[in-house]
Structure 1
Amino acid sequence: MPAPHNSFKARLKSGETQIGLWLGLGDPSVAELASHTGFDWLVIDGEHGPNGLRDVLAQLRAIGDRCSPVVRVRNDDRAEIKQMLDVGAQTLLVPMIETAAQAAEVVRSIRYAPRGARGVGAALARASSYNAIPDYLQTAETELCLLLQVESTKGIEALDDILQVEGVDGVFIGPADLAADMNHLGKPDAPEVQAVVNDALTRIRAAGRAAGILTSNRSLAAGYQDMGVEFLAVGSDVGVLMGGLKALRSAF
């Protein structure tokens, strides 16, 4: 019996746009609720959200197989990546990637030796259904999906080299940090920023990789979808809750 099938990874190659939602509240009940609303993928945010290892584990369990969970780790730390994989994350989003060498090391972090450097301990872990999947070690890599987040001018300058790294399934452009690095702090919708974003998304897709981005701007989201971006997040639990509550209050 092989490792569980990663439908998110499989669909990245289908030509469709998978629509996602960001989970920043770090709450399993919110994750469970969101998993019933029809989104293709949900990001469990371990970079900016209040999420530790057990928080991520709880949300993975809450989401189940109703949609595809994507775990954004804090950084490219190999030990944290190993733990997230062992608790059952199959799709990782790794932020702040700026060089091809850094990207290659992240690839090594998700692969077992001799192709990589992931520690072998899955027999104790949820990833292998607690060793109920006897050939997990041999089949895990096929079902893992690695998304790298490029969000600085240095990363944009190195994008073409990053895209040549074997083992990278997709590249996500982080518009907020990119805007800040371009001296447009808090203004990711600025025309100068969007010109760089759109060029980057086009280059990613031209290189045969999946392209992704997050925006709560519906006009921009529609444009990205028309462009064919493969994984598009269109909001967050925080934004939807705040907006809905404000709208409800204003009605009275």
Structure 2
Amino acid sequence: MSGPSGKLGGLSTSVVAIIAVGGVAGLLALIVVTSLILDIPKRMKQKKNTGLMAPEEMEKKSVEIDDAEKGAVKQSTREISVQSPSFMADFKPYSEQPELHAKAPYRAAMLTQPANLKQALKDAQADASKTLMGIAQGIPSTFVTKLIASTKPDFIWMDVEHGMYNRLTLHDCIHAAQHHSEGKSMVICRVPKHDELSLTTALDAGCAGIVIPHVESAQEVRDFIKEMYFGGGKGHRSFSPWTFTPGLTTSLYPNDPYNVQTANNHVCLIPQIESLKGLEACEEIAAVEGISGLMFGPGDYMIDAGMDIHSFMNGNPDPKFFEAMGTFNAAAAKYDLPIFGGVMGLDQIPMAIQTGMRGIAVQFDVWGTTRLFASSLEAGWKHAKSFEGNPKPSMANGQAKPAE
């Protein structure tokens, strides 16, 4: 039977057609694969010509590069070793280099607690070579405090009476002083006489000394002592729950988990006499048990006494001023009290020590920075002025006039 519905050897013509097509496709696939296999050597040759390498060559080259890199590393290491003999090999932990550690003999167990200013002043009073040198800070800025503390003065005197400190700034400045000096710098605050908030803030933050301004009687000092110290017959200072963490806070003293003994043993009270009435009561004030030093206020005293401050600032004080200082110094000497204060210039330090000063502010932040700016500008303008007559100076033709 013929036609599409016919059969061939028992198979329909459709099946035969499918087999035929499959055979042709298989034959074509075989030809393509064979062509690819035969073309491999040629392709490898082309790859060599274009910079690509056969696997065995790549492996060989990799070994060569690896060896070269190892050599380069060895060479680099050798060069670093030559240039820097201590490169890592000589590293010593900070804890094993005591010469880097701040010498802070009077610090408390924790830097949030007051340093032992009482002992520091006693040591200085016994040996003038241990006189404390510090910086007076009137700018209410923790950044300024950090700069000062980085020089590690013996103390930083923060003037809360005249400086524009708010409560948080004062707290943070005291902490910054002690932390950034690594415990070396003790903090002394002058607070307004009737400002309980400033006093509480300074003490809770870890201030080591309080200066009371405008003291005019011994009774004022006794009353102030009660505000500064904790119990035990010394005072009625309020106990803060925010200055310690139970179980974590430490103290230099046994059985003192809340640093009550630290505060009572370390914090100093320094009355400041700066009026005619105060000077009259000077010896009575110096005799009060519990104070650690005395301070004189020349500016307020001269105004109260009708003296010319300008003459004093220019090195020509009123003769009566020397009489007043004599009375003050005699009272301090009689009761073996160190004098705290500042100097107008560094050349005054020897005289200050000879007259009984044992805590000396050798620089004031406002005066010091202003004078630094002024002297630097003066030097700059002077150098520029030296080029008069040579408006376009250069390294080739420009010469400044000889210094006069």
TM-score greater than 0.5 by the shorter chain: yes
Percent of residue pairs bearing the same amino acid type: 22
Distance change >3 Å, CA 197–CA 59, structure 1 → 2:
same
In structure 2, stretches of 5+ residues that fail to align are: 1-107, 251-256, 381-404
Partner of 1:34: 148
Higher normalized strand content (fraction of residues): 1
Q: CA deviation at 1:78?
A: 3.7
Match of 1:56 among 152, 170, 188: 170
Larger radius of gyration: 2
**Higher relative contact order, chain-length normalized (CA < 8 Å, sep 6+):** 1
**Which position in structure 1 is the counterpart of 2:358?**
230
* Alignment check: 8 A CA contact 2:192 2:212 kept: yes
Residue 192 of structure 1: how far off its partner (Å): 2.4
Q: Which runs of 5+ in 1 are unaligned?
A: none
Matches of 1:178 and 1:94 in 2, distance apart?
15
| Contact 2:339/2:359 (<8 A) preserved | yes
User: What letter is aligned with 1:249?
Assistant: L
| Contact in 1 for aligned 2:329/2:356 (Cα 8 Å) | no
Residue equivalent to 1:154 = 277
Q: What secondary structure, in the 3-state scheme, does the structure 1 residue paired with 2:294 have?
A: strand
Change (3 A) 1:199 1:154: same
Q: In the alignment, is the contact (CA less than 8 A) between 1:176 and 1:185 conserved in 2?
A: no
Distance in 1 (alpha carbons) for counterparts of 2:206 and 2:119: 17
Corresponding position of 2:189? 71
Whole-Å separation in 2 of the counterparts to 1:151 and 1:217 = 21
Q: Is this contact kept in 2: 1:211–1:231, CA < 8 A?
A: yes
Number of residue pairs matched by the alignment:
249
Matched with 2:378 is 250
Q: Greater share of helix residues, 1 or 2?
A: 2
Q: Among 235, 241, 253, which residue is 1:116 paired with? A: 235
Cα deviation, residue 195, structure 1: 3.1
> How is 1:122-133 mapped onto 2 (pairs within 5 angstroms)?
123-125=241-243, 128=244, 132-133=249-250
Deviates more, 1:100-109 or 1:201-210: 201-210
Contact kept in structure 2, 1:8 and 1:41, CA below 8 Å: no
Cα deviation code 1:129-187 (max 9, x no counterpart): 68724142344211111111111111111011111111111111111111111212424
Describe the shift of the 1:145–1:250 C-alpha distance in structure 2 as closer, same or farther (beyond 3 A).
same
Residue type of the alignment partner of 2:163: G
Deviation at 1:5, TM superposition (A): 6.4
Secondary structure of the corresponding residue to residue 226 of structure 2: helix
What residue is the counterpart of 2:264 in the other structure?
141
Task: Output one character per residue of 1:6-49: Cα deviation in whole Å (capped at 9) or x when no partner.
Answer: 34321211233212221011111111111222422111110111
Q: Name the aligned partner's letter for residue 87 of structure 1.
A: A
Aligned to 2:223: 105
